[in-house]
Structures are given as C-alpha cells and as structure tokens.
C-alpha cells in the first residue's frame, strides 16, 4: 500500500484486517460520502451517521486512514472506522457558530508557500506557521517565484526572522531553482498551504514530475490568485511520500493554537524568560525584556503586535468554542428533561 502506509499503521490496522476490512486513505469527504484510495484503486465509500456524529473535528477528512468494508456487487463500500490521527491541521471557521474545521490529517510536513511576486505579508505567514506547528507536523516555508524580480536575499532574511526554527527555501518553477533541496527535505505526507496564486499547484507539479495539478494565472491588476484548485488532491510523490495540494485559503482563523503560537514566536518566548514578572504580558510592565528588545530594535514592533493580536484571536475563538460546547450540553440536558417529563406524563395517563 502506497500513500504513506507504514508499519505503525499496519500494526494499528491488525484488528480491522482480522475483520476483513481494507485500509484506505481518504482524499476527500463530505455529506456522508468519501473518496479514498486503496491498494486496488480509488473507491467511493459511504460514511455511516455514527462515524459522522458529534465533534466536527472527529469527522473523516483528507489524509485520514480508514478501515473500509470493501464494495460488493450492489453494495457500496462502507467506512467502518478511522485510525487514530498522528497530526491534524485545524482552522477556525469564519461562520457564526464558530468551530474548528479540520483541513487535513496525518500530515508530516506543511509547506507554507509565500510568493515573491507579491508584497510579503508576515502576519499571514505567522498565522499559517502557528496552524502548522499546532498540527504536530514540521513546517517549511517556500518562497516561490524567485524569478519574478524581487530582492530574494533580503526577502529570505525577512521571512527567516518571522519563522524561527523553520527552513526558508527559495524556488522558481521557471528556472527550477531550489527544487533539488526542497525534494531532499520533504518527508512523508506533504501538504501545500498558502494563499491562492502563491504557486502551490505549480510547485506540486514540479515535485510530482508532471502536469497533474491544474494551475491558473493570477489577476493582472492585483496579483491575486483565482482559486484555481477547487479540490484537495492526494498524489504519490516519485521519491516516496504523498503530496496534498489544497485550494488557496481565504481565511485562516486560529483554533486552539496556543502551543502553535508559542512555537511560532519562540524568539519572543525566549526573551520573556528574562522579564521581571513571570506573568509579564509585555504591554508596559517594568523590567519587560521583550519591550526592551523592541526598543533596541532586535524585535520589530510589528512582530510583537502580531503576537498579541494572534493570542487575543485565539483566546476569543476558544471562548466561543466553550460557549458553543456549553450550549450543546444545555440542549442535551433540556432534551433529557423533556424526555423525562414525557415519560412521566405517559405513566400518569397509564395509572
């Protein structure tokens, strides 16, 4: 089995093998159906209600390993269970009933793509890195379109400063620059993340060694992409591993990404160890080492602002999630109370 199957998955799958179920990796899942790759090709499988219920984060998604009851004549394949996820990329949805939406499961490497042909937006890069770190996967930043005429060296230095602990590579699909290094550092399941038009699918095609993914020109007026990729695609890489191309994200809300933020802002966290107060919030306290670093110009004020903003956003999303879970629990209690009342009414009538 290709697509990233390994001994640990094989071990976890043993009870399912015993039950004559087959392993499959989910390419996409929605509305009770999923498309999944198996040893013998791609199949469509039904997702029974029981697997879908409850926590939206527990629903099957791209990258999940599933145990399927194989299709038989007249009967579609059926998703029986999911293997425990190793990692999960989760964002907050923009909807009113804010909850986490899982973008991909069992990802090993997150490639955050940043176009050198557009103005650099460090806040967006920090946001994507927080999401990537939080997932448990290793992030890499790839600066695409090195041929487009930007000052590559200074862009690389700038982006490296907002991505501590992360390799920042430079590529060009036109000249082929950087592709050998990128190929060498990618392992396991690789997801391409970034705004529309950043060159994710173009990069994907280079890694795949063929025009397997559709690409589209950016708008001449503002350099923005046209959301060419509409589906998530899961394709095996020639050197081993799997590539997951994603549609450019319009919004990337943080969801429960406290740890991811700490890793994204590791430089600020390190400085904070020297603040006078252990619970220093770095907003004006005396003896604040972080503010001193901003003062001295070693940390840009923009970066500290971004850290504060993302922490606030994350805390807000977390509070809304709590409220929603709380509301859910209240609804269950109400249901039980109604059920009990109905039962009593019924019993009273019987007496």
- Which residues form the interface with ligand GTP (CB under 6 A)? 144-145, 147-148, 172-174, 194, 196-202, 215-218, 225-229, 247-248
Concatenating the DSSP letter of every residue in 208-275 gives HTS--S---PPPTTT--------S-EEEE-TTSSEEEE-PPPS--B--S-HHHHHHHTHHHHHHHTTS
Q: Pick from ligand GTP, Mg ion, Zn ion, none: which does 28 bind, CB < 5 to 8 A by kind?
A: none
Give the nearer residue to Zn ion in terms of CB position, either 206 or 264: 264
341 touches which of Zn ion, Mg ion, ligand GTP, none (CB within 5 to 8 A by kind)? none
| Class of residue 72 by CB neighbours under 10 A (exposed 0-12, middle 13-18, buried 19+) | exposed
Distance CA 170, CA 228 (A): 23
Minimum CB distance to Mg ion smaller for 81 or for 212: 212
Contact flag: residue 282 with Zn ion (CB under 5 A): yes
Write out the binding residues for Zn ion, residues 170-189 only, by CB under 5 A: none
Out of ligand GTP, Mg ion, Zn ion, none, which partner does residue 275 contact, by CB within 5 to 8 A per kind? Zn ion
Cβ atoms 240, 186 nearer than 8 A: no
What is the smallest separation between the CB atom of 37 and Zn ion, expressed in angstroms?
49
User: What is the DSSP code (8-state) at residue 103?
Assistant: E
Interaction partner, residue 178 (Mg ion, Zn ion, ligand GTP, none; CB < 5-8 Å by kind): none
Size of site (CB under 5 A) for Zn ion: 5
Q: Cα-flanking dihedrals φ and ψ of residue 26, to 5°? A: -75, 130
3-class DSSP assignment, residue 77: strand
Q: How far apart are CA 136 and CA 259, in angstroms?
A: 10
The stretch near Zn ion (CB under 5 A) out of 37-45, 183-191, 229-237, 284-292 is 284-292
Nearest distance, CB of residue 203 and Mg ion, angstroms: 9
Q: Is 205 in the site for Mg ion (CB under 5 A)?
A: no
Find the binder of Mg ion among 115, 171, 201, 306 (CB under 5 A).
201
The answer to whether 172 and 144 are in contact (CB under 8 A) is: yes
CB atoms within 10 A of CB 287: 11
> Residues 118 to 157: which contact Mg ion by CB under 5 A?
none
Residue 101 · residue 90 · CB < 8 Å: yes
Chosen from Zn ion, ligand GTP, Mg ion, none, partner binding at 280 (C-beta under 5 to 8 Å by type): Zn ion
Helix H segments across 136-210?
A: 152-161, 179-185, 200-208
Burial (CB < 10 A; 0-12, 13-18, 19+), residue 215, is: middle
Q: How far is the CB of 232 from Mg ion (least distance, A)?
A: 10
CB of 201 to Mg ion, least distance (A): 3
- Looking only at residues 24 through 43 of this chain, which bind Zn ion when binding is defined by CB under 5 A? none
Taking each helix axis from N to C end, the angle separating 301-350 and 289-296, rounded to the nearest 10 degrees, works out to 140
281: left (phi over 0), alpha (psi -120 to 50) or beta: alpha
138 binds, among ligand GTP, Zn ion, Mg ion, none (CB under 5 to 8 A by kind): none
For Zn ion, the binding residues in 252-281 under the rule CB under 5 A are: 275, 280
Least distance between ligand GTP and beta carbon 44 (Å): 24
Q: Of 56-95, which residues contact Zn ion (CB under 5 A)?
A: none
Q: Binding partner of residue 174 among Mg ion, Zn ion, ligand GTP, none, CB under 5 to 8 Å per kind?
A: ligand GTP
Closest separation in Å from C-beta 267 to Zn ion: 13
Report, in Å, the least distance between residue 31 CB and Mg ion. 23
Q: How far is the CB of 29 from ligand GTP (least distance, A)?
A: 20
Give yes or no for residue 229 binding Mg ion (CB under 5 A): yes
C-beta of residue 174 within 8 angstroms of C-beta of residue 195: no
Chain residues binding Mg ion by CB under 5 A are 200-201, 228-229
Kindly list the residues in this chain that would bind Zn ion in the complex (CB under 5 A). Answer: 275, 280, 282, 288, 290
């Amino acid at each position: 089995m290709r697509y990233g199957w390994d001994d640990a998955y094989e071990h976890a799958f043993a009870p399912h093998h015993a039950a004559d179920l087959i392993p499959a990796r989910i390419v996409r899942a929605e509305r009770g159906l999923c498309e999944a790759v198996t040893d013998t090709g791609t199949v469509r499988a039904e997702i029974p209600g029981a697997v879908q219920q409850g926590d939206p984060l527990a629903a099957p998604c791209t990258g999940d390993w599933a145990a399927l009851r194989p299709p038989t004549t007249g009967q579609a394949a059926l998703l029986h269970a999911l293997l425990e996820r190793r990692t999960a990329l989760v964002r907050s949805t923009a909807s009113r009933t804010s909850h986490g939406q899982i973008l991909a499961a069992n990802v090993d490497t997150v490639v955050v793509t940043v176009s050198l042909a557009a103005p650099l937006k460090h806040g967006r890069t920090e946001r994507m890195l927080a999401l990537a770190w939080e997932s448990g996967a290793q992030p890499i930043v790839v600066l695409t379109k090195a041929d487009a005429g930007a000052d590559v060296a200074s862009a690389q230095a700038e982006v490296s400063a907002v991505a501590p602990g992360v390799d920042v590579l430079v590529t060009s699909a036109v000249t082929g620059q950087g592709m050998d290094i990128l190929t060498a550092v990618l392992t396991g399941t690789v997801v391409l993340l970034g705004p529309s038009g950043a060159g994710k699918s173009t990069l994907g095609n280079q890694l795949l060694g063929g025009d397997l993914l559709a690409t589209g020109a950016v708008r001449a007026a503002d350099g923005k992409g046209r959301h060419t990729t509409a589906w998530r695609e899961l394709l095996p890489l020639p050197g081993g591993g799997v590539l997951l191309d994603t549609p450019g994200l319009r919004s990337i809300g943080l969801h429960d990404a406290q740890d991811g933020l700490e890793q994204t802002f590791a430089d600020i966290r390190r400085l904070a160890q020297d603040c006078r107060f252990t619970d220093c919030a770095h907003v004006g306290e005396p003896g604040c080492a972080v503010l001193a670093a901003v003062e001295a110009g070693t940390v840009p004020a923009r970066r500290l602002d971004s850290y504060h903003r993302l922490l606030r956003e994350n805390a807000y999303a977390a509070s809304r999630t709590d409220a929603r879970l709380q509301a859910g629990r209240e609804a269950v209690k109400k249901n039980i109370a109604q059920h009990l009342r109905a039962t009593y009414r019924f019993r009273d009538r019987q007496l």
